[in-house]
Chain A
Amino acid sequence: MDKEAIRRAIMRIAHEIVEKNKGTEELCLVGIRTRGVTLAQRINACIESIEGGRAPLGILDITLYRDDLADTRGKPVVHETQIDFDITGKKIVLIDDVLFTGRTIRAALDALVDFGRPASIQLAVLIDRGHRELPIRADFVGKNIPTSPSQNVKVVLSESDNAEDEVLVENAEKKS
């Protein structure tokens, strides 16, 4: 996926979000660190150009909710979660770059419900690459990319990666 394709996908997701939620009332976006946050900001900018108003935007760090904390090598760096609004009764759109096993989303759902009881939680992702290990699906998908489990999907976004936007599918290097 190149820069233009990503731009169009984000714009379409924004349209779908406001269509499904009938505007921006009670709508909140929550990006999962780090690229989910960048995507959430872009989607929010698109929502503003469509509806004239922005939705509140939160940042979620799921490190503390990971189910593999005990056996990940090294120590994942914890970043701050910033959700400055009450999510109770709100329609939350959770945003991440790649949907793969679904475990990140599981962790994000656990983290979110610690902040309150939203009216609903929807999921928007730029890439759905399949291979789910949990019963989780996305409501809004930029592009479905069939992959093999050993491949790596890399999303590059200019804000967080200092390079032109693109999505790459790489064959994983053999690890000794």
Chain B
Amino acid sequence: MTEWTRHDLLNIRDLSREEIELVLETAKSFQEVSRRDVKKVPALRGKTVVLLFFEPSTRTRISFELAAKRLSADTLSVTAGGSSVSKGESLLDTAKNIEAMNVDLIVVRHAASGAPKIIADALGPSVINAGDGCQAHPTQALLDLFTVKERLGRIEGLKVGIIGDILHSRVARSNLWGFTKLGAKVTLCGPPTLMPRDVEQLGVRVTYDLKEVVAQSDVLMVLRLQKERQQDKYLPSIREYARLFGINKEKLKSAKKELLVLHPGPINRGVEISADVADGEHSVILEQVTNGVAVRMAVLYLLLGTKSKADGEEKDGSAVS
């Protein structure tokens, strides 16, 4: 099996297929911990994980915090509003001050693409990108891959449709890399104004025909439509978007029986997805949330569980006992 040698997790693009598979397999082993009465294992005892969130987040922050706590790490949350950031401290200064208190890992979310990389390059502790601008959200892609693999047993050969505001979506970008690396065929669909130019070069198909995507796909990934997009003149109206690209029961009539509908949350009911689909038989939206904890435990464990030691003694299963 591949060995994990990475110090940071910044995006999916850098990972090899084997590394992605290692995370998914490790996550599988961690699923069981969250089902126990005592939901805690001592693997990361004494490690400190800082959640540095410059953008609002509920799901991702809680998920990382639970994941770290279930591995016995200590966590603390720093948000832009309640910190010196509101007094004008720079990103790197904030990060360096956190590093000076001897933390082991920093989870970063920032509105600017590349912010986590700047921190990772400048600092000693491991860095996990929990979403940066429009660029990447690697743990979301990993948990989506995990959820699909749990449900359908494979990724290879699946047809995956990603629907909505592709242009501004870091979730779409990370998933596009993740699913194509594992052998799925990805089709992007959304309003032409919200489709990145020349995105086909990344090995995906682009269509503006939602019907066709729905009929062919094994997995539909519905992206959140940010309401500000209308003010930014990307869309004539939210209602028109809902009519043309919103997923509802009517539009899913031609879909495969086994179709999975994913959404990274938070959902705008009635805009990109209707309530009867979000709560319906195809939806695995809440499973994604559950699996998110196991996947983040796996990532934390792989980044922090052990540190490389050049003179460490080789351990053989039979020799340790």
With the chains together, A153 CA to B321 CA distance in Å? 10
Main secondary structure of the interface of B (DSSP, over half): loop
A-contacting 9-mer, from B81-89, B124-132, B202-210, B311-319? B311-319
- B-facing mask of A75-107, CB < 8 A → 1, else 0? 111111110000000000000111111011100
A75 to B33, CA, bound (A): 19
B122 at the binding interface (Cβ < 8 Å): no
Interface size class of B (residues with CB under 8 A): 35 or more
**A105 nearest CB across to chain B (Å):** 7
For the complex formed, measure the closest distance between the CB of B39 and the CB atoms of chain A, giving whole angstroms. Answer: 9
Q: List the one stretch of A5-13, A15-23, A65-73 in contact with chain B.
A: A65-73
A73 to B313, CA, bound (A): 7
Q: What is the chain B residue whose CB lies nearest that of A63? A: B43
* B308: chain A residues within 8 A (beta carbon): 73-74
- B-contacting residues, A46-73, CB 8 Å: 61, 63-65, 68-73
Per-residue 0/1 for B275-303: is the Cβ within 8 Å of any A Cβ (1 yes, 0 no)? 00000000000000000000000100110
Contact partner of B41 (CB less than 8 A), chosen from A64, A96, A99, is A64
B34 within 8 A of A: no
| Complex alpha-carbon distance, A17 and B314, angstroms | 35
| B26 part of interface (Cβ distance < 8 Å) | yes
A175 within 8 A of B: yes
Counting CB contacts under 8 A, is B306 at the interface? yes
Q: Which of A61, A73, A75, A152 contacts B319 (CB 8 A)?
A: A152
A155 within 8 A of B: yes
A80 with B320: CB separation less than 8 A: no
A154 contacts B by Cβ under 8 Å: yes
Q: In chain B, what residue has the closest Cβ to A110?
A: B42
Cβ of B57 within 8 Å of any chain A Cβ, yes or no, is no
Q: A34 to B320, alpha carbons, bound, how many Å? A: 13
Check if B29 is an interface residue, CB within 8 A of chain A: yes
Question: Do the beta carbons of A115 and B30 come within 8 Å of each other?
Answer: no
Let me know if B318 and A152 touch, CB within 8 A.
yes
> Which residues of A sit under 8 angstroms from B30, Cβ to Cβ?
78
On whether the beta carbons of A72 and B32 are closer than 8 Å, the reply is no
A75:B3 contact, CB within 8 angstroms: yes
Interface residues of B (CB under 8 A from A): 1, 3-4, 25-26, 28-33, 36-38, 40-43, 71, 298, 301-302, 305-310, 312-321
User: What would 15 more interface pairs be, CB under 8 Å, given A65-B43, A75-B306, A98-B318?
Assistant: A34-B317, A35-B317, A61-B29, A64-B42, A70-B307, A71-B306, A73-B314, A77-B26, A78-B298, A78-B301, A80-B29, A100-B320, A101-B320, A116-B37, A152-B316
